[in-house]
């Protein structure tokens, strides 16, 4: 089994995340993509949304795609959410699986500062999804094509901060996030 892992705060998950995962799924012939909301991201300020709300939004966003799975692995583990620990846990839960870590080109640029980056690269391969307009990502990847793959496909220029900003301003987030996520944000009064 070939599994893609897509982690992040997903604060909230949006269509750009889903499109990137679908590009990776198709491009790399992944059997499934596991979405893991970070519990306590060590490289950034804490998420605006609570852990259970962010997991619920990921579950809603991925529910209709047979190849997408929501996981609460990092939320249940406690402590800082280190990718190397998550990868090791997923491999332990899926013996014999091949794991591909899916990251955006912005996260790829920071991987050297992550916990145990060499161990991480020994456990999985890395697929990098360039952000729209990031032509330099392919050049950075060309330096080590055996360890890193550039994911091709149409990208969407969206960010969770844009979604949160629109909610704070009382503006619609329809067609930026899945309908179920938009409804959840409204019903829970998130990001106001």
At residue 143, does pLDDT exceed 60?
A: no
Domains identified in the chain and CATH numbers: 2-188 (3.40.50.620)
* Entry pTM: 0.92
Across the chain, which distance is largest between two alpha carbons, in Å? 48
Cβ atoms of 54 and 12 within 8 Å: the answer is: yes
Alpha-carbon distance values, 15 to 80, 111, 121, 125 (Å): 26, 24, 28, 24
Please, which pLDDT band fits residue 109 given cuts at 50, 70 and 90? confident
The string of pLDDT tens digits covering residues 162-188 is: 999 999 999 999 999 999 999 999 999
Q: What percent of the chain has pLDDT over 90?
A: 73
**7 forms bridges with which residues in the sheet?**
36
pLDDT mean across residues, the chain: 91
What DSSP letter does each residue of the chain carry, written as one string? -EEEEEEE--TT--HHHHHHHHHHHHHHT-SEEEEEE-SS-TTSPPPSS-HHHHHHHHHHHHTT-TTEEE--HHHHH-S---HHHHHHHHHHHSTT-EEEEEEEHHHHTTGGGSSSHHHHHHH-EEEEEPPTT-THHHHHHTT-TTTEEEPPS------HHHHHHHHHTT---BTTB-HHHHHHHHHHTTT-
At residue 147, does pLDDT exceed 80?
A: no
């Amino acid at each position: 089994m070939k599994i893609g892992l897509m982690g992040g705060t997903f604060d909230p998950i949006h269509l750009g995340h889903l499109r990137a995962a679908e590009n990776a799924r198709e491009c790399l012939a992944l059997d499934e993509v596991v979405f893991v909301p970070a519990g306590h991201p060590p490289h950034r300020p804490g998420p605006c949304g609570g852990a259970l709300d962010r997991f619920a939004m990921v579950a809603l966003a991925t529910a209709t795609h047979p190849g997408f799975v929501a996981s609460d692995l990092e939320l249940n583990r406690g402590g800082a959410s280190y990718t190397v620990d998550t990868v090791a846990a997923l491999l332990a839960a899926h013996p014999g699986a091949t794991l591909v870590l899916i990251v955006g080109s912005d996260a790829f640029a920071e991987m050297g500062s992550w916990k145990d980056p060499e161990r991480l690269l020994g456990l999985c391969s890395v697929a990098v999804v360039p952000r729209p307009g990031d032509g330099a990502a392919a050049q950075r990847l060309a330096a080590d094509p055996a360890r890193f793959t550039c994911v091709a496909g149409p990208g969407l220029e969206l960010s969770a901060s844009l979604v949160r900003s629109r909610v704070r301003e009382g503006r619609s987030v329809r067609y930026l996030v899945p309908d179920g996520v938009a409804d959840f944000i409204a019903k829970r009064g998130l990001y106001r």
